[in-house]
């Protein structure tokens, strides 16, 4: 647990939350600033700033818990789909620096619009970038 970390406080029980599910290594609770009805956060119990620093077993546990919750929100909330999102760094919208996954139920008429609009990329640039990443 890291002092002054909101999510560490939620994990410890010193900060109230609407917890929905938990495992030995991860917990899930409702986002207090939901993008859509049923928006959840899944966090490893152990503190890490983001998924780059997370213990692989903690990250796997959080991902498996998120997987089960995607099914739950689609079935129980009659969602049409879901987004699973991890923000890494302030410029990527991370506002709490404790690894977490957003499980965001999606509904046909919900108002959420992510800023990325898929469009065809330059195939040469894509190939060059792929080479840098290999």
Burial code of 21-45, b = ≥16 C-beta within 10 A, e = fewer? eeeebbbbbebeeebbebbbbbbbb
Cα radius of gyration rounded to whole Å, the chain: 16
Among residues 39, 47, 100, 102, which one is catalytic? 100
Q: Is 100 a catalytic residue?
A: yes
- Three-class DSSP labels, 101-126: EEEEEECCCCCCCCCCCCCCCCHHHH
Q: 3: closest CA among 57, 11, 21?
A: 11
The catalytic residues are: 100
């Amino acid at each position: 647990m890291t002092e002054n970390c909101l999510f560490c406080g939620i994990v410890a029980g010193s900060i109230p939350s609407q917890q929905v599910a938990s495992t030995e290594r991860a917990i899930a609770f409702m986002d207090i600033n939901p993008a859509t009805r049923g928006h959840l956060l899944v966090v490893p119990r152990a503190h890490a700033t983001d998924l780059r620093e997370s213990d692989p077993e903690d990250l796997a546990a959080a991902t498996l818990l998120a997987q089960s919750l995607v099914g739950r929100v689609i079935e129980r909330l009659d969602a049409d789909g879901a987004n699973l999102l991890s923000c890494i760094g302030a410029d990527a919208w991370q506002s709490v620096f404790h690894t977490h996954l957003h499980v965001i139920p999606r509904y046909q008429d919900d108002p959420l619009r992510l800023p990325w609009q898929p469009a065809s990329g330059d195939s040469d640039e894509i190939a060059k970038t792929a080479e840098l990443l290999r």
